[in-house]
Amino acid sequence: MDTRRPTLISVVLPAYNESEGLPVVVSSILHALANTGFAHEIVVIDDGSTDGTREVMLDLCAKQPSLRYVRFSRNFGKEAALSAGLRTAAGDAVILMDSDGQHPPALISVFLDKWREGAEVVAGVQNERLESWTKRRFKAGYYWLMQAGSHVVIPPDAGDFRLIDRKVVDAINALPERNRQMKGLFAWVGFRTVLVPFQPEPRVAGVTKFTWRQLFKLAFTGLTSFSVVPLRLVSLTGLVISSTAFLYGCYLLFEHYVVGGRVPGWPTLAVGMMFLSGVQLLALGVIAEYLGRTFEEAKQRPIYIVAEDSRVKSPPHAASPVYDASAFVADARASETETGRHS
Cβ(16)–Cβ(78) under 8 Å?
yes
pLDDT at 144 over 70: no
pLDDT in tens, 174-206: 887 777 778 878 888 888 888 888 887 777 665
Q: Is residue 284 left, alpha or beta, with left meaning phi > 0 and alpha meaning psi from -120 to 50? A: alpha
Looking at the chain, the whole-number percentage of residues with pLDDT higher than 70 is: 62
Residue 25 to residues 8, 32, 166, 199, 210: CA-CA distances in angstroms? 20, 11, 24, 17, 19
DSSP code of residue 92: S
Residue 11 to residues 35, 40, 73, 110, 284: CA-CA distances in angstroms? 14, 8, 22, 14, 43
pLDDT in tens, 75-122: 888 888 998 999 998 888 999 988 888 888 989 989 998 998 888 999
Round to whole Å and give the CA distance between 235 and 130: 37
- Position 111 scores a pLDDT of 92
pLDDT in tens, 279-329: 777 777 777 777 776 766 666 778 888 888 887 665 444 444 443 433 333
The pTM assigned to this predicted structure is 0.67
Backbone φ and ψ of 134, nearest 5°: -60, -45
Q: Exposed (0-12), middle (13-18) or buried (19+): which is 130, by Cβ within 10 Å?
A: exposed
Maximum Cα–Cα distance across the chain: 91
